[in-house]
Amino acid sequence: MSTSGEPEHELVRRLLPYSLPAFAVAALTGGFFSGAGTAWSGGIAVIVVTANFVGNAYSVSWGARIGPTVLMAVGLGGFMVRLATLTVALLLLDRLSWFSPLAFAAAFVPTTIALLAVEMKLLAGRMQADLWYFPERTT
């Protein structure tokens, strides 16, 4: 991975192109087994994982530019916000007759695991704290 730029942005640049093929695989698999509703449910799961990944990367990158305290607040608070957003989205989606929670979970879990595995491989041998840059404050 390149040392120029913010590591979170680098991860997004490297991994975001894989979201479209992942969406296609989830949708085609869901469609093959049970129709259009299941296909959309699987595809939505990939979109949710992608949005969560991008939101986390950009919020952590923003927090790191400000300072360690903000970085910690963004990391912990952002997780809670994204978890609450996912919960509300699932509750709303579950009201739709075509939505399949099983297909959503069947796509969400492996997509998340694959994303985490690739992130770990790309960041292997590095401490996360070593990847952030905190500019010196001038008074």
Residue ranges of E strands in the chain: none
The 3-state DSSP composition of the chain as helix, strand, coil percent (nearest 5) reads 80, 0, 20
pTM: 0.80
Residue 79: CB atoms within 10 Å: 13
Polymer length of the chain: 139
pLDDT block averages, 10 residues each, the chain of length 139: 68 90 93 92 96 92 90 91 92 95 94 91 66 64
Q: What distances in angstroms separate CA 59 from CA 14, 20, 111, one per listed residue?
A: 17, 22, 21
